[in-house]
Chains A and B, each alone.
Chain A
Amino acid sequence: MSQVLHDIEKKIIESLQNKSQQTPEQLCESAELSIDQIRRGIEWLRLKEFAEVKESSKVEISLGSNGIDAFQNGLPERKLMDLIKNEPKTFDEIRNVLSGAGFNAAIANAKKNGWIKIDKTESGSTVSIKEKSIETPEEKLISFIGEKSIPEEQIENKLALKFLLQRPNYIIQNIEKLKTISLTDKASKIDSTISDSGAIDVEADVPAVFAARTHPLKDTIDEIREIFVKLGFSEISGTLTQSSFWNFDALFTPQDHPARELQDTFYLENLKSEKPATPKQIKQVSKAHSENWKYKWQLSESQRMVLRTHTTCVTIKYLAEKKPDEARVFSLGRVFRNEKVSYKHLVEFNQIEGIVIGDNTTLRDLMGIQKEFYKQLGLTKIKFWPTFFPYTEPSLQTMVYNEKLGKWVELFGMGIFRPEVTRPLGITKPVLAWGGGIERIAMLKYDLNDVREFYNNNLNWLRTV
């Protein structure tokens, strides 16, 4: 370690080399620095093991209000003795002079000292001198302290001090913490006169601090959101809890479909939506199911509340309400699946979904948007495979080549909404829809193998990733 010393450090060392043990206040004078500079300098020197700080405490004794009174006018028992110096006095007469607590203290202490005797007469108790009163140790102590403040160790009669401490407001104890600074061996040899004015030890370790920041997954979400906006999509939002009607029925998923079972979907206990949709929407959707899937559609099943399993319920609701002729919108947010949590599955994750309605709504356009989207994310090796979703036809999925795994991985799904979905809701134009999970993309980005990492909130990771 290079021993570069700050001017402050040098002055302190120099001063301590002259006089080995000093308090910070003493150093202020001897080193001609402010108390703040001294404190800082001591802390630096201590970390460099050039200085040692010893802490001790010092007790100062002075008189309290009753003590001052006793110093000026005598203790209550002395006042009593002065009062009965010539003749005995009754309690009442004494009370006239010594009021309140003073009276009780005077009688009690004078009696304890063996100075007085008390006789009971018809006119009450009278007090008379029993013995000559000499100066007590307490009185000596009070005169010794006087109006000064005296270090406790200078008081010889500790017993007298103890008695006075027991009497209220006679003694004030002032405890002061003291620091004494001294140099270590290696510092006593330093020649502080060598000039390296203003320099500090620039190689020394400093404490680690961390910048506050957004969550890494949020960064990916924002990046994806920006790409959607860049591609001309506007954001819409919807609730996380949805009726089965919008999550499933409106999307042509039959009511006995395995995906609707408790083991895949979270149903909310004892909650149903009284009016999940308009009577016309309910009637038309019901008809599409009965005619195509050939079963008896139940309203009650569509009223059950679920945690949405995809964001498609938000987009289809938007289309059914607004019936736009032309639009590019997207929705982004949490979706839920009743799955066992593992390194590749979460119960709750983020999904984004975009739709295009209007002109240029062919499968080729849809593929073109995908290609551009992935290009923006820096993924250029992609291809399309057919797949199946109950609510789109045709349906495709994007495959992206993962160099690290050396294989194609599935990312977003896409398709054109089935007429069985759009027609019952009064949507007349073709609708392109596409979307998928965001965590999967974020995992590629942050090189994670375990998706749970995003929700562990491990501060070390959040602060340093």
Chain B
Amino acid sequence: MPVVELNLNRIKKLISGNVTKKRIVDTLPFLGLDIESQVNDQIRIEYSPNRPDYSTDFGIALGLQGLLGIKKGIQKTNIKKQGNYEIKVDQSVSKIRPFVTGIIAKNGIIDDETIKQLMNMQEDLHFGIGRKRKKSSIGLHDLDKISFPLTYTTSTRSHSFIPLNTESENTIDQILSETEVGRDYGWILGDSKNVPIIVDAEGKTISFPPIINASVTTVTTKTTNLLVEVTSLDKDAAEDMLSVVVAILQIAGFDIVQLTVSGKKNGTPKLNSRTIQYSPKLTEQTIGLSLNQSTTISSLKKCRLDATQKGRNIQCVIPRYRFDIFGSMDIVEEIALGYGIDNIEPKLSPSQTLGEKSSMTKKLDRISKTVIGFGFTEALNSSLTSKKILFDLTNRDSSEMLSVLDSKSQEHTILRDSILPGLLENLSKNIHEPYPQKLFETGTVFSKSKPISETINLAGIIAHKESNYSETKSILQAILRTGFQIDTKTITSEDNVSMFANGRYADVFVGKKLIGNIGEFNSDVLDNFKIRTSITGFEIKLSGLIFD
């Protein structure tokens, strides 16, 4: 989950109401924000990726104002038409990154903390709704360093300019191969000969989306006017991202001015709000509360939406940046939040149904009880384990192994096809504990099929000086006889089971059905696990035997 840092004094100023810091901290969770840590006035907050407007303290302040009742209803997006700001789209971008949109933000005050917040916003937008910049990416520029009109066009890879945080000119190729952002995001552009750039009226390159801005338009604490540009593979996605930035800059105190966008399929962003007709019946059906119209309207306004009564229905106005709202069900949630989750009384209705464990669970319980009766202690191992334990240490054949892609943990890369190797590993970690040691486990094992088959197995393992085949066979037969009346036979195996000692293992059959095997582990395997006592084990398939 993305994270944002808040300073309580700054938040207090931003919401400009008379509330205590404690009240603010207590209210944050009811916006859906998780407090990760708090050190004095500095709070780290996790927010849900569906609410990118919470990527700055400005957005969070907007939400807090609503829930605290300081300012309710929608924050209107007021785009002024003044000046002559335009960006023209050249045809050549259509096959690489076809859409651009943007806005002008004027007369703001940018301090160090604001720069930090805007940087955090940019990061999170890139990662989340920008899908790591592939879908959309954003650039913030110092407006006063730019002459209009701008052109969104393409250049060759030998084109050069001075990128952000650099002193000298770099070619596109250099940026892609020598800078960190170039290496991280260059793949988005594929191997196309030309790359997208934004140039101003004087021919200065101001941005090389989605990689890096030019140094010339760097935003500093001296900046008061901004150009925001968003490039994207999708027009709606571009405007989604832009709308979040506009909402945030507006709270930050900027005046919003239109940037005209012209060119094929592109257009000037309007960022209009939309309306949803809401039937209050749904509140009762979904939350279980019967709220009157005015409470409903006030609850919605507390969530910074607008709402008016329209006959029996309520007309909700949704600002452009709330693209997480799809339909009526989302409105229900807003009502619940605005009403206050704390104010909703839980209700326990009697169940109309009788509950029951699955028959598999019941039978596994029975098996466990019997096996424990024979003195086995239950072990639990991961079903995603390693090649080393599953195959290398047990000398088993790994040709049919099932791997996962890109595991972050070396101990968890292969799905187990057998439980016994894990139990051997458990014994090897307990050699200092008193013997005899008897372990068992029931769990899922996997094998290749179309595409994959899963069965539930039971495995047991006995370790002590005199552990032997006959003892274990007696136990295995008794387990299935007790409670399941199943008779098992052991038949000399035709396969070479390489973890068992020669002549001391067998296939286990029920009637004509092969259900598993049993044997004494050979000294090679015991050496591999550094075990210095005799071990016998068995593993049988329960699926298809005592349940489906």
Contacts and interface: CB of A to CB of B under 8 A. Distances in A.
**Do A and B interact with each other, yes or no?**
yes
B404 interface: yes
A272 interface: yes
A13 interface: no
A218 B367 CA distance: 14
A240 B353 contact: no
A332 B447 CA distance: 22
A358 interface: yes
A182 B346 CA distance: 80
B380 A457 contact: yes
Interface stretch (B10-18, B408-416, B464-472): B408-416
Interface in B148-206: none
Interface string B318-353: 000000001101101100110001101111110111
B29 interface: yes
A236 B356 CA distance: 10
Contacts of B137: none
Nearest to B438: A212
Contact of A463 (B365, B374, B377, B384): B377
A234 B347 CA distance: 21
Contact of A383 (B131, B342, B373, B406): B342
Contact of A326 (B326, B329, B352, B376): B352
A416 B29 contact: no
B457 interface: no
B452 A241 contact: yes
A154 interface: no
A83 B404 CA distance: 90
Given A240-B383, A385-B30, A364 B287 contact: yes
Nearest to B29: A385
A456 interface: yes
Interface string A160-185: 00000000000000000000000000
Given A212-B375, A237-B360, A460-B433, A338 B408 contact: yes
Contacts of B51: 388
Nearest to B240: A294
B358 interface: yes
B398 interface: no
Contacts of A256: 131, 134-135
Interface string B23-43: 000000111101000000000
B380 A455 contact: yes
B438 A367 contact: no
Interface in A231-272: 231-237, 239-241, 256, 258, 262-263, 266-269, 271-272
Interface in B65-110: none
B97 to A, nearest CB: 16
A383 B409 CA distance: 35
B357 A225 contact: yes
A269 B387 CA distance: 15
Contacts of B285: 362, 430
Contacts of B509: none
Contact of A294 (B50, B234, B353): B234
B455 to A, nearest CB: 10
Given A233-B355, A338-B406, A386 B430 contact: no
Interface stretch (A34-42, A92-100, A143-151, A340-348): A340-348
A244 to B, nearest CB: 12
Interface in B285-304: 285-289
A294 B128 CA distance: 16
A330 to B, nearest CB: 8
B286 A348 contact: no
Interface stretch (A45-53, A118-126, A389-397): A389-397
Contacts of B452: 241, 268, 271, 305
B527 interface: no
B407 to A, nearest CB: 6
Interface in A376-426: 383-388, 390, 393-396, 399, 410, 416, 418-420
A305 B360 CA distance: 25
Contact of B34 (A228, A410, A420): A410
A267 B405 contact: yes
Nearest to A397: B34
A229 interface: yes
Nearest to B289: A364
Contacts of B330: 393
A360 interface: yes
Nearest to B127: A258
Task: State the majority secondary structure of interface residues on A.
Answer: mixed
B368 interface: yes
B220 interface: no
A328 interface: yes
Contact of B408 (A240, A339, A396, A399): A339
B213 interface: no
Given A387-B32, A387-B48, A455 B381 contact: yes
Given A362-B287, A363-B286, A328 B351 contact: yes
A348 B286 CA distance: 34
A213 B372 contact: yes
A309 to B, nearest CB: 12
A346 B329 CA distance: 34
A20 interface: no
Given A212-B375, A235-B357, A239-B454, A368 B347 contact: yes
B475 interface: no
Given A241-B446, A459-B377, A229 B356 contact: yes
A364 B344 contact: yes
B403 A367 contact: no
A214 B327 contact: no
B405 A234 contact: no
Interface in B432-474: 433-434, 437-439, 444, 446, 450-452, 454
Contacts of A214: 368, 372, 378
Contact of B327 (A305, A367, A419, A454): A419
B349 A368 contact: yes
B429 A456 contact: yes
A212 B371 CA distance: 9
B402 interface: yes
Given A267-B405, A269-B403, A232 B333 contact: no
B348 to A, nearest CB: 4
Contact of A418 (B329, B429, B439): B329
Contacts of B429: 456-458
B358 A236 contact: yes
A450 interface: no
B309 interface: no
A294 B236 contact: yes
A359 interface: yes
Nearest to A293: B326
Contacts of A199: none
Interface of B: 29-32, 34, 48-51, 127-128, 131, 134-135, 234, 236-237, 284-289, 326-327, 329-330, 332-333, 336-337, 341-342, 344-349, 351-358, 360-361, 365, 368, 372-384, 402-409, 411-412, 415, 426, 429-430, 433-434, 437-439, 444, 446, 450-452, 454
22 contacts: A213-B377, A215-B377, A229-B357, A262-B405, A262-B406, A267-B406, A269-B404, A328-B351, A338-B404, A338-B408, A339-B409, A340-B408, A346-B382, A348-B412, A362-B285, A363-B288, A370-B346, A384-B344, A410-B34, A456-B429, A458-B429, A463-B433
Given A256-B131, A462-B378, 18 more contacts: A212-B372, A212-B375, A231-B351, A232-B351, A234-B354, A256-B135, A258-B128, A266-B405, A267-B405, A268-B405, A268-B452, A274-B450, A338-B407, A362-B286, A388-B48, A394-B287, A430-B285, A457-B439
The 5 closest A-B pairs by CB, nearest first: A232-B351, A362-B288, A388-B48, A364-B288, A367-B346
Interface of A: 208, 210, 212-215, 217-218, 222, 225, 228-237, 239-241, 256, 258, 262-263, 266-269, 271-274, 292, 294-295, 305, 307, 326-328, 334, 336, 338-341, 346-348, 358-360, 362-365, 367-372, 383-388, 390, 393-396, 399, 410, 416, 418-420, 430, 454-460, 462-463
